[in-house]
Amino acid sequence: MALTAAQVAEQKKQVEELIAGSDVGFAKALFFGKFKGELLFPYPTLPAEKAVQAEAQAARVREYAERHIDAMKIDRDARIPDDVIAGLAALDVYRLTIPAEYGGLGFNQQMYLKTMEVFGGHDSSVAVFVNAHHSIGCRALVLFGTPEQQARWLPGLLDGTKLCAFALTEPEAGSDAGNVQTTARPTDDGEAYILDGVKQYITNGGIADVLTVMARTPAPTRDKPDATKITAFLVTPDMPGFEVLEARAEKCGIRGTATGKLRFTNMRVPKANILGPIGKGLKVALTVLDFGRTTFGASCTGHAKTALKAMVEHAKRRVQFQQPLAEFQLVQKKIAFAAAHTFAMEAATTQCAAFIDRGFEDYMLETAILKVFATEHLWTIINDAIQVWGGKAYFCDQPLERWMRDARINLIGEGANDVLKAFVAVVGCRGSGEYLKGLRDDVMGGRWSLRKLGAAIGVGASLVVPWATTGTPDVPVHSPDLHDDAHTLGKLIREFGLKLPHVFMELKDEAKFVQAQLVHERIADIAIDIYVSSCVLSRLDHLMGHAAENGKLVAKNADPYEDVAAGRYYLKMAFRRIRDRFAALDNNDDPSCLAAAQAMMAKV
């Protein structure tokens, strides 16, 4: 039966209320066809005093790295030298994000990422080493530690003599963070917990002095007396039962990092070492990973700039067929792609960091998008740089083969990109009001399950109605030169909001939607390019804020990567990709793809 006009109006009102609140993030609103421009415009910049401090710190690190951090030697020796670890301490690197009251510099996320971009552009091993200490190490203590815990632990983490690690991953718990098997059972006197289990692939794990460890604690209910929930613990290697099975695993890339495997056997951990509320360890883990994923954006941006510079310089000096490589259009195509996506990486990274610094509560979708976008496109940029360099890039006396090995782990670490794409699509779609609450509980519970998706969405005509009168959202750019791009983005956002209910309905059978991960991938790809395009438009509007002189934009500074042409080219590519994926939602080869896979799996 058709809904009345009053019912339609009421549903529309409910939708507007659902996404209008300040606690709803920018990316989630996109799934309704809404553009919360006030969250992205104007483009975020640091206050003058903080900008000077952050740039000065980055400059100190850059100078030190160029003189003292030998990336090729670190890769060859599979170790960051002790003198480099000490040198970073002299530069206050370990103090960056620790609050000033505990002896740190108290950098906010935007300030910190200025330094991380430098490390990412110089050596990925050092970048990951520092990130493990800060973004997923100290950060857990800063965000969730009690004042007593912070006063006890943080002052000892300032000078590099004591390092942090974050121990989540296990043989059965990779991207499936909720599948932690390490157990923590309370002692009879209630004063401690006994931990048993194995952790693997832990950066700094075998050399850290303080580790945040995730383990399952009892959480019995009437229906499930054996139920457990994940709790975070602060652990030190001097605890009896703590064993380093492997301190430095041999790896393909980021070889300088110490990637450890640990075992806990009847390890007694005082109750005072519980970090955050009991049973809320997964919230600790996912929150900390949001910070780590933002750092991925900065490190990848730095790495992309270095690869782009190498690509351009080689293309200019290398002559083939009596022409510099730079004059060939297929080489220029690679340079343009790299420039455009490096510009976009930096824009999206800055916005995510600003969300954190402004105290927003809902940015998990944005950080997941940033991680996927930055890591996938960095991989392409490095691959293209190798192609431009040709055979020379393949040899170990040049850095490009190392860049390739270092960059590959980015698509896997801190949430594999395939999983994060499903996360983006599923969490974004749960914005269809309370229909998806059951699914949200699964995702936030760490189960990453799609089982309830069909039932949660409630596939039916009523799902379409709240969006039926949605107009094209306004994208509030000030530069007249950007009005057309802003209008195009607004139309694509509206189409996104209107398209999703039809996708749900066209699948008809709820079970089919539950398993339609190829559809989820397209939805995520659309959301990623729409979100990043929004960040790019904000940055372009900021850069073009000064009026043009004589038909040429006034350069605000000499940064070659702050290039308006690159940003505008990104928008053209992104809009084309979005349209292609919209079309693929209706016209694709999914049945043939799945049939081919299943036929091969049946034979091999």
% of residues, the chain, pLDDT over 90: 76
What confidence score (pLDDT) does residue 552 get?
A: 54
Residue 414 bears catalytic tag: yes
Query: pLDDT value at position 428?
Result: 85
What interhelical angle do 124-133 and 281-317 show, nearest 10? 160
Predicted local distance difference test score (pLDDT) of residue 361:
85
452 and 508 inside one domain: yes
The angle formed by the CA atoms of residues 558, 561 and 563, to the nearest 5 degrees, is 85
- Nearest-angstrom CA–CA distance, 11 and 310: 55
Classify residue 176 as left (phi > 0), alpha (psi -120 to 50) or beta: beta
Specify whether 312 is located in the same domain as 435.
no
Give kind and range of the element (H or E) at residue 167: strand 164-167
**Shared-domain flag, residues 535 and 575:** yes
Residue 6 has pLDDT above 80, yes or no: no
Instruction: Judge if 132 and 58 occupy the same domain.
Output: yes
Percent of the chain's residues with pLDDT above 70: 86
**Last-in-domain residue among 383, 399, 416:** 416
Q: Are residues 53 and 151 in the same domain?
A: yes
What distances in angstroms separate CA 145 from CA 141, 272, 444, one per listed residue?
Answer: 5, 10, 21
**Lowest mean pLDDT, pick from 326-335, 340-349, 394-403, 427-436:** 427-436
Q: Which of 257-261, 306-310, 338-342, 494-498 has the lowest mean pLDDT?
A: 494-498
| Overall average pLDDT of the 102-131 stretch | 97
pLDDT band, very low/low/confident/very high, at 426 (cuts 50, 70, 90): confident
| Banded pLDDT at 9 (limits 50, 70, 90) | low
Could you tell me if 305 and 252 lie in one domain? Answer: no
Among 356, 389, 416, which residue terminates a domain?
416
Of 379, 399, 416, the position where a domain reaches its end is: 416
Residues 307 and 376 occupy one common structural domain:
yes
Range of 246's domain?
Answer: 165-278
Answer yes or no: do 228 and 273 share one domain: yes
Task: State yes or no: pLDDT of 556 exceeds 70.
Answer: no
User: pLDDT by residue (tens digit) across 53-89?
Assistant: 999 999 999 999 999 999 999 999 999 999 999 999 9
Please indicate, yes or no, if residue 78 is contained in any of the structural domains. Answer: yes
pLDDT reading at 465 higher than 50? no
DSSP 70: -
Bigger pLDDT: 19 vs 308 = 308
Residue 102 falls inside a structural domain: yes
The two tokens of residue 230 are 């994940």
User: Is residue 550 a part of any domain in this protein?
Assistant: no
Q: Is residue 582 part of a domain?
A: yes
Q: Place 518 in a pLDDT band, splitting at 50, 70 and 90.
A: very high
Q: What is the 3-state secondary structure (H, E, C) of 79-93?
A: CCCHHHHHHHHHCCH
pLDDT tens figures, 280-289? 999 999 899 8
In a domain, 549, yes or no: no
Q: pLDDT at position 501, please?
A: 77
Model pLDDT, residue 506: 76
- Check which CATH number belongs to the domain holding 406 and give it: 1.20.140.10
- The CATH code of the domain that includes 71 is 1.10.540.10
Mean pLDDT (whole number) for 127-147: 91
**What is the radius of gyration, based on Cα positions, of the chain?**
25
Residue 587, H or E segment: none
Task: Retrieve residue 368's tokens.
Answer: 């997941």
Is residue 503 very low, low, confident or very high in pLDDT (cuts 50, 70, 90)?
confident
What is the full DSSP assignment across 513-575?
HHH-HHHHHHHHHHHHHHHHHHHHHHHHHHHTTSPPBTTBPPPSSS-TT--HHHHHHHHHHHH
**Shared-domain flag, residues 428 and 512:** yes
Average pLDDT over residues 158-174: 92
Q: pLDDT tens digits, residue range 180-219? A: 999 999 999 999 999 999 999 999 999 999 999 999 999 9
Q: Are residues 294 and 270 in the same domain?
A: no
Contact 531, 27 (CB under 8 A): yes
- Nearest CA to 501 among 436, 416, 572, 413? 436
Higher pLDDT, 438 or 95: 95
Same domain? For 446 and 387 the reply is: no
How many domains, the chain?
Answer: 4
Which has the minimum average pLDDT: 47-51, 326-330, 360-364, 443-447? Answer: 443-447
pLDDT at 383: 98
Residue 552 placed within a domain: no
Q: How confident is residue 24, by pLDDT bands cut at 50, 70 and 90? A: confident
553: in domain:
no
On whether residue 555 sits in a domain, the answer given is no
pLDDT greater than 80 at residue 388: yes
Comparing 341-345, 426-430, 530-534, the range with the smallest average pLDDT is 426-430
Q: Are residues 148 and 254 in the same domain?
A: no
Catalytic residue from among 170, 376, 401, 414: 414
